[in-house]
Amino acid sequence: MTAYASLSRAGDSGQLTWEVKSVNQRYHEASLRLPEDFRVLEPEIRARLKARFARGKFDVTLRYHADAAAAAAAPVLNRDLAAALLERHRELAGLAGSSADPDLVRLLAWPGLLIEQRPDFESEQHNALTLLDDTLDALLEAREREGTAIAEMLEPRLAGILEQAELVRRHLPAVRNALETRFRERLEGLGADIEPGRMEQEIALQLGKLDVDEELDRLEAHVAEVRRVLTLDEPVGRRLDFLMQELNREANTLGSKSVATETTGVSVELKVLIEQMREQVQNVE
């Protein structure tokens, strides 16, 4: 289901920002973009996504902007290394018979003499996961709002399917009478001596082939099931996909059995309504 959420919060040593986008997909897929110091969180991020969402394609981005004050914190002197370097300087001066003072500025450039204080990333990683939970909650709320809107869009089309089914039911007696009259005229036009009972059987057989009562009953049952599924508090996208296929199957059968302009028009209108719903259902988890 299409949705977007973004949250920012100050961490212990910088600004954390999560951005999560989701679109509908049959399976569960996540694409993560994380700063190097947060890549260790990838398995936990994927687990939290799967715990909340059954399917969908997710683009998840974390941005981290280090606090300038924290980044500029004074480095710590490696006192043990400094003492060792000064001791070596004194030894070297003694060997050379010199009393020159050490060049402290150059000594500061000695690798490891100054220890840069890095932020506590374990704490920052914990903050990032806490913020992710809030961001995913916001994404879930956005998806629920869209789901509600989609359900509201589906309802008029479901009602439209029932209206079309009722329209066919109203036309059926007249259609059957017209077909029966046509069959009788054709059989009588053959000029053959047909037993009355055999004629009735043939007419009943032909009318049975064109009967659409079962298709109409199934259309109404599928509409009732769609409405029921929309009330469930669980992922229903796949069920709705299946129900759209079943509705389309009944509409096709109705069209193939159609022998009157009225029922042909109903079949076309049903397919339009079902296709409109199918496009919306693609966005449901």
How far is Cα of residue 175 from the mean position of the Cα atoms in its chain? 45
Interaxial angle between packed helices 121-189 and 261-281, expressed in degrees from 0 to 180 and rounded to the nearest 10 = 170
pTM over 0.75: no
Q: DSSP per residue over 171-228, as a string?
A: HHHHHHHHHHHHHHHHHHHTT----HHHHHHHHHHHHHHT--HHHHHHHHHHHHHHHH
* Strand duo 14-23 + 3-10: pairing: antiparallel
- Asked if residue 170 belongs to a domain, the reply is yes
264 and 157, same domain (yes or no): yes
Residue 207, token pair as written in the block: 């009318």
The partner residues of 16 in beta bridges, in order of sequence, read 9, 64
181 and 274, same domain (yes or no): yes
87 and 22, same domain (yes or no): no
82 and 45, same domain (yes or no): no
SS3 50: helix
33 and 135, same domain (yes or no): yes
Number of domains in the chain: 3
11 and 45, same domain (yes or no): yes
- Asked if residue 254 belongs to a domain, the reply is yes
- Asked if residue 120 belongs to a domain, the reply is no
64 and 88, same domain (yes or no): no
- pLDDT, position 212: 73
Kindly tell me the sign of the dihedral angle through the C-alpha atoms of 40, 43, 45, 46: positive
8 and 110, same domain (yes or no): no
- pLDDT, position 185: 67
CATH number at residue 26: 3.30.230
- Asked if residue 121 belongs to a domain, the reply is no
- Asked if residue 125 belongs to a domain, the reply is no
Could you give the CA distance from residue 204 to residue 215 in angstroms, rounded to a whole number? 18
261 and 175, same domain (yes or no): yes
139 and 152, same domain (yes or no): no
Find the domain containing 108 and state its range.
74-115
- pLDDT, position 40: 92
- Asked if residue 21 belongs to a domain, the reply is yes
| pLDDT of the chain, 285 residues: tens digit per residue | 678 999 999 877 789 999 999 887 777 899 999 998 899 999 999 999 999 888 888 999 999 988 765 555 567 778 888 888 888 888 877 777 777 777 777 777 778 777 766 666 788 899 999 999 999 999 988 888 888 888 888 999 999 999 988 887 877 776 666 666 666 666 666 655 656 665 566 555 555 555 677 888 888 999 999 999 888 877 788 888 899 999 998 888 877 766 666 667 788 888 999 998 888 887 777
- pLDDT, position 78: 80
190 and 63, same domain (yes or no): no
- pLDDT, position 274: 92
- Asked if residue 124 belongs to a domain, the reply is no
273 and 161, same domain (yes or no): yes
